[in-house]
Structure 1
Amino acid sequence: MHEKLKVLVRLDLDGGEAEVAAHGHVTEQSVQALYVVMKRANHLREGLRLVVDVSHARVERAALEQLQACSESRHLPASIDPLQSDCQLRVLAPAAAPVKKSLRLAA
């Protein structure tokens, strides 16, 4: 049995921040639904900082990597946001989650 994905959005328009908090199981498939919520939150106001809190969810590695890639590129997937609006995204990952590192050592 799969846990349902539960999402809560908190807005602080005066502070210019929106938090999308996910609970349950974030999979490669369910992250698509999370993107839709993130897109709606991102379009509430130009320049809004978006925090995606999956720290209390069970997150599959592939889903977390996708979220981190969005944070790095500052865009949601083109299939979700064809206009590729700027997205100031920060991901709060579970404590035990693998962190994507791009460290290269010189030989």
Structure 2
Amino acid sequence: MNSKLNVVVRVDLDHARAQVIAKGHITVHSVNALYVVVKRANSLKEGLDVQLDVSHAHVDREALEMLHTASESNHLPQKIDPQQAPCTITVLAPRRVTSELRAQPPALIAA
């Protein structure tokens, strides 16, 4: 799995839409980088609909919950956007959600 985060932004100002496509591994730490990209895209035009496509990324469960919280509240976290500008985010769900805690390997049974 590639842990490097790769982000592409597509903007259509005529139709007030932006698409942020993220690939790689999204963790609770790297999700802040996505928020910064979304904030910059959102600042291009008032009322912009931002689609955050993480469908081709490995996303930790807690990071996905953070993204859904921002989507439901229509605001980015205050530490990213202290002004709390309205931000309409739609999150395209990932195919793979990982847990930050890896499962323990099964214990070997001595015979």
**Secondary structure, counterpart of 1:62 in structure 2:** helix
How does the TM-score come out when normalised to structure 1? 0.87
Opposite residue 43 of structure 1, the aligned amino acid is S
Are residues 1:24 and 2:44 paired? no
What is the identity percentage for the equivalent residue pairs of Structure 1 and Structure 2?
A: 57
Whole-angstrom distance in 2 between the partners of 1:58 and 1:27 = 9
2:90 paired with 1:90: yes
TM-score normalised by structure 2 residue count: 0.84
More displaced, 89-98 or 23-32?
Answer: 89-98
| Counterparts of residues 10-21 of structure 1 (less than 5 Å) | 10-21=10-21
Counterparts of 1:24 and 1:2, CA distance in 2:
6
CA drift of 1:95 comes to: 3.3
**Which residue of the partner structure matches residue 48 of structure 1?**
48
What is the CA distance between 1:84 and its match in structure 2? 0.3
Runs of at least 4 residues off by over 6 Å: none
Matched length: 98
Flag the structure with larger Rg.
Answer: 2
Greater share of residues in strand: 2
1:3-60 deviations in Å (ceiling 9; x for gaps) = 1000000001111100000000000000011110010000000000000000000000
Structure 2 match to 1:60: 60
Q: State the distance in 2 between where 1:5 and 1:87 align.
A: 22
CA distance in structure 2 between the aligned counterparts of 1:63 and 1:28, rounded to whole angstroms: 5
